[in-house]
A = this chain, B = another copy of it.
Amino acid sequence: MTDFSPIERGDWIAAPDGLVRIPGGSVTSPDGYVAYGATCGLKVSGARDIGVLRSLRPTRSWLMDTTNALPSAPVRVNRTRDRSQFSAVVVNAGIANAATGDQGERDALAMAEQTGLLLGVAPETVLVSSTGVIGEHIDMDKIGRGIIAATDGLSVDGGTSFNEAICTTDRTLKGGAFVLQLPEGDIRIGIAAKGAGMIRPTMATMLAYVTTDAPLSADDVREITLAAGESSFNRISVDGQMSPSDTLLVMANGAGAPLAGASRQVCGDAIAAVCRWAAIQMAKDGEGAAHTVRLGVHGALDRDEAARVARAVAESPLVKTAIFGRDPNWGRISQAVGQALAVAAGQVFEPVVVIDGVAIADAATVMDRAEYDIEIGLSRGNAEYALWVSDLTHDYVTLNAEYHT
Q: A interface vs B, CB < 8 Å?
A: 67-71, 76, 96, 98-99, 101, 133-135, 197-198, 239-244, 315-318, 321-322, 324-325, 327-332, 334-346, 348-350, 392-394, 396-398, 400-405
Contact = CB atoms under 8 A, between A and B. Distances in A.
Contacts of A134: 330-332, 334-335
A231 B68 CA distance: 29
A241 B336 contact: yes
Given A69-B345, A70-B335, A328 B400 contact: no
Residue of A321, A336, A338, A349 with most partner-chain B CB within 10 A: A338
Given A70-B338, A322-B401, 4 more contacts: A71-B338, A98-B335, A135-B334, A329-B405
Contact of A325 (B135, B329, B402): B402
Given A329-B405, A332-B134, A317 B396 contact: yes
Residue of A101, A330, A335 with most partner-chain B CB within 10 A: A335
Nearest to A104: B348
Nearest to A321: B400
A400 B393 CA distance: 10
A98 B318 CA distance: 16
A345 B70 contact: yes
B334 A70 contact: yes
15 contacts: A69-B340, A69-B346, A70-B334, A70-B338, A70-B348, A98-B331, A99-B331, A133-B331, A242-B335, A242-B338, A242-B339, A327-B405, A331-B405, A394-B397, A396-B397
A98 to B, nearest CB: 7
Contacts of A329: 404-405
A397 B392 contact: yes
